């Protein structure tokens, strides 16, 4: 689909959004020209999402929630955060520690987790949030200020990973998919890197970008050779993504986890399904006002760009960081094991039960979020089997 065809199926940009998008396109063009006319997709995505003052997560659009561009599990229902809190409770009971949430979005999940842990009388000593978006951190502060004092006083915002290392739980819902990724494409069995160059634009005013291939080199070539060799041959023109930032990210989190669990929840697949020959256009998706599409070069700075998570890569990174892969399950299996049905059944009245049942179906059904979203537990020095992973098969990660 051409850029103009994609634009025609999306809601039009407001004049303010157009100005914002153009300012970011100008910034990216400057960087691209300074780099000799070609940028890796990873650098493009980093600028599109995080360029200071202009990137999607650095600037002020609504982003999450029904009035924003996309809805995450904690925004669908508090049932998600309540189940997650039960998993946290199990780890906190053993570690007597704290919670660190990465990328806390609107703050709703933090509010739900703390409220549920108060009910279970297992509040963490502190609930720390590490958020790269100043705009979302502001939103989190406003949301969490509404919590009862005993809960809100436990919440702190960090500028970087905590020192000294922590005991307890690290939570990251839909953060790994927001890490900038590289793209590649295959021709005659040879892998090329898919980067970004300037495209000719119909008017001198407009700045457009396009895919631009070059021979895969260095770490990308090495990563593709290692991960694709055991898999079936990929068809001509096959295009996909690989997130080379996952391993250093997991290693940095492993460094700060002295004892406890890192719980990742995100959409993604084990590698053999991620790089299945039929998934020939990859997993890169953009979200703008509740519509999903595949063109990262439109609506710059006002749309989200994500790629699914290769959970086998996460597991390899965890092992290299000395963490144990203690759990991997679909979101549906994870939430059912943590008692989501009981939470719906315990609703105060029929009307609430009907509402919660509808929300639970969205979280659980395979055609909604139940199958494509996964939960993974990476642990250190924790022997207890984790309740959320009662039904799982770690062999699928191989």
Ligand X SMILES: C[S@@+](CC[C@H](N)C(=O)[O-])C[C@H]1O[C@@H](n2cnc3c(N)ncnc32)[C@H](O)[C@@H]1O
Q: Does 111 bind ligand X (CB under 6 A)?
A: no
Distance CA 309, CA 179 (A): 10
**Which residue stretch of 40-48, 67-75, 83-91, 151-159 sits at the interface with ligand X (rule: CB under 6 A)?**
67-75
| CA 327 and chain centroid, separation | 18
Site for ligand X in 175-234 (CB under 6 A): 175, 178
As a residue count, the chain comes to: 398
> Measured from the CB of residue 253, what is the shortest distance to ligand X in angstroms?
10
Name the CA radius of gyration of the chain, rounded. Answer: 21
Contact residue for ligand X among 10, 122, 132, 394 (CB under 6 A): 132
> Measured from the CB of residue 208, what is the shortest distance to ligand X in angstroms?
26
Q: Token pair for residue 184?
A: 């590649």
**Which residue stretch of 28-36, 101-109, 277-285, 384-392 sits at the interface with ligand X (rule: CB under 6 A)?**
101-109
Q: Does 298 bind ligand X (CB under 6 A)?
A: no
CB closer to ligand X out of 57 and 184: 57
CB closer to ligand X out of 57 and 127: 57
Distance CA 284, CA 291 (A): 14
Q: Does 64 bind ligand X (CB under 6 A)?
A: yes
Distance CA 3, CA 286 (A): 13
Contact residue for ligand X among 41, 57, 311, 334 (CB under 6 A): 57
Residue with tokens 């157009």: 18
CB closer to ligand X out of 40 and 185: 40
Q: Token pair for residue 100?
A: 């660190």
Q: Token pair for residue 110?
A: 């933090």
Q: How many residues bind ligand X (CB under 6 A)?
A: 18
**Please, which residues have CB within 8 angstroms of residue 346's CB and are 6 or more apart in sequence?**
none
Other CB atoms within 10 Å distance of the CB of residue 252: 12
CA distances from 258 to 263, 290, 327 (A): 15, 39, 18
Q: Does 133 bind ligand X (CB under 6 A)?
A: yes
Contact residue for ligand X among 81, 103, 254, 270 (CB under 6 A): 103
How big is the CA angle at 135 (ends 130 and 137), to the nearest 5 degrees?
A: 30
Determine whether 350 is exposed, middle or buried from the number of CB atoms within 10 Å of its CB (0-12, 13-18, 19+): exposed
Site for ligand X in 254-273 (CB under 6 A): none
Q: Does 174 bind ligand X (CB under 6 A)?
A: yes
Contact residue for ligand X among 28, 32, 88, 130 (CB under 6 A): 130
Q: Does 51 bind ligand X (CB under 6 A)?
A: no
> Measured from the CB of residue 237, what is the shortest distance to ligand X in angstroms?
29
Q: Does 284 bind ligand X (CB under 6 A)?
A: no
Contact residue for ligand X among 32, 40, 44, 74 (CB under 6 A): 74
For residue 19, the cross-strand partners are: none
**Which residue stretch of 97-105, 293-301, 332-340, 350-358 sits at the interface with ligand X (rule: CB under 6 A)?**
97-105
CB closer to ligand X out of 136 and 223: 136
**Please, which residues have CB within 8 angstroms of residue 154's CB and are 6 or more apart in sequence?**
114, 123, 124, 125, 126, 127
Residues that bind ligand X (CB under 6 A): 57, 64, 72, 74-75, 102-105, 130-133, 136, 173-175, 178
């Amino acid at each position: 689909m051409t850029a103009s065809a994609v634009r025609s199926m999306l809601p039009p940009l407001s004049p303010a959004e157009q100005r914002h998008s153009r300012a970011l396109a100008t910034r990216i063009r400057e960087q691209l020209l300074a780099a000799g006319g070609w940028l890796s997709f990873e650098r493009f995505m980093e600028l599109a999402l995080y360029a200071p003052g202009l990137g999607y997560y650095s600037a002020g659009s609504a982003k999450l929630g029904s009035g924003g561009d996309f809805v995450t599990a904690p925004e669908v229902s508090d049932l998600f955060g309540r189940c997650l809190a039960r998993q946290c409770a199990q780890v906190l009971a053993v570690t007597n520690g704290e919670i660190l949430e990465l990328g806390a979005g609107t703050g709703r999940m933090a509010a739900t987790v703390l409220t549920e842990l108060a009910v279970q009388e297992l509040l963490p000593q502190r609930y720390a949030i590490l958020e790269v978006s100043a705009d979302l951190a502001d939103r989190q502060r406003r949301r969490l200020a509404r919590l009862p004092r005993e809960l809100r006083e436990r919440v702190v915002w960090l500028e970087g990973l905590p020192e000294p290392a922590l005991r307890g739980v690290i939570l990251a819902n839909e953060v790994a998919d927001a890490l900038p990724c590289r793209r590649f494409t295959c021709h005659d069995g040879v892998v090329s890197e898919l980067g970004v160059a300037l495209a000719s634009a119909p008017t001198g005013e407009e700045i457009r970008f396009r895919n631009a291939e070059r021979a895969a080199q260095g770490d990308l070539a090495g990563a593709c050779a290692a991960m694709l060799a055991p898999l079936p041959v990929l068809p001509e023109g096959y295009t996909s993504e690989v997130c080379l930032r996952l391993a250093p990210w997991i290693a940095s989190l492993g460094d700060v986890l002295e004892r406890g669990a890192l719980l990742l929840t995100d959409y993604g697949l084990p590698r053999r399904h991620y790089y299945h020959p039929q998934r020939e256009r990859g997993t890169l998706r953009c979200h703008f006002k509740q519509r999903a599409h595949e063109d990262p070069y439109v609506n710059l700075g006002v749309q989200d760009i994500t790629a699914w998570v290769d959970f086998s890569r996460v597991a390899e990174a965890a092992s290299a960081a000395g963490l144990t892969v203690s759990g991997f399950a679909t979101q549906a299996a994870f939430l059912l094991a943590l008692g989501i049905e009981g939470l719906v059944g315990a609703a105060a009245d029929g009307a609430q039960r009907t509402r919660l049942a509808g929300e639970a179906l969205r979280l659980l059904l395979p055609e909604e979020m139940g199958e494509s979203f996964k939960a993974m537990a990476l642990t250190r020095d924790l022997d207890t089997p984790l309740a959320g992973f009662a039904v799982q098969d770690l062999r699928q990660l191989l």
